[in-house]
Amino acid sequence: MGCQVGQIVKSLIFRTKESNRAILIAASGINRVSEAHIASLLGEPIEKADAEFVKEKMGFAIGGVPPLGHRTRLEAFVDEDLLQYEVVWAAAGTPCAVFALSSADLVRMTGGRVVCIK
C-alpha cells in the first residue's frame, strides 16, 4: 500500500471486566494500548477480548475487524497519533481487504473519543 506503519488502523476489541461491554480502540499501527490507561478512562478494568466474543459482538473475525460497520454501536477510542496523518488505512471486514479514509472521518464515523492510548 505504500503507507507508513503509523497510518495503519488496528481495530482492537477489548471487553470490560465488570459490565461485559465491547470497547473499540482504533490504534495506530506503531502503538501498543495501555490497558490500565483505558481502564482509567472507562472507570472499570478491561481485558483483551477473545475470538468468540469479537465475532459475536462485532460480526467480524479477529484480523479483519473494521473500525466501523459493527452489529451494535459501541464505545470507541481513537488513538490521537492517527490524527497526524491525512489518510489512514483500516481492515475492511477480512484479513485480506483494507480501505483508506481520512483520520477526521475515522473519528466522525466511529464516534470515537480521541485519546492517548499509550
What total number of domains does the chain contain? Answer: 1
Residue 118 forms part of a structural domain: no
Residue 59 forms part of a structural domain: yes
The per-type count for the chain, helices as H runs and strands as E runs, is 3, 7
From 65, 81, 64, 83, select the one nearest 23 (Cα to Cα): 65
Share of the chain above pLDDT 70, in %: 100
58-67, pLDDT tens digit by residue?
A: 999 999 999 9
74-107, pLDDT tens digit by residue?
A: 999 999 999 999 999 999 999 999 999 999 999 9
What CATH number does the domain containing 16 carry?
Answer: 3.90.960.10
**Where does the pLDDT of residue 73 fall: very low under 50, low under 70, confident under 90, or very high at 90 and above?**
confident
- Asked if 100 and 89 count as a contact pair (C-beta separation under 8 A), the reply is yes
Residue 52 forms part of a structural domain: yes
- Expressed as residue numbers, the domain containing 18 is 5-113
70's CB contacts (< 8 A; 6+ apart) are: 24, 57, 58, 59, 60
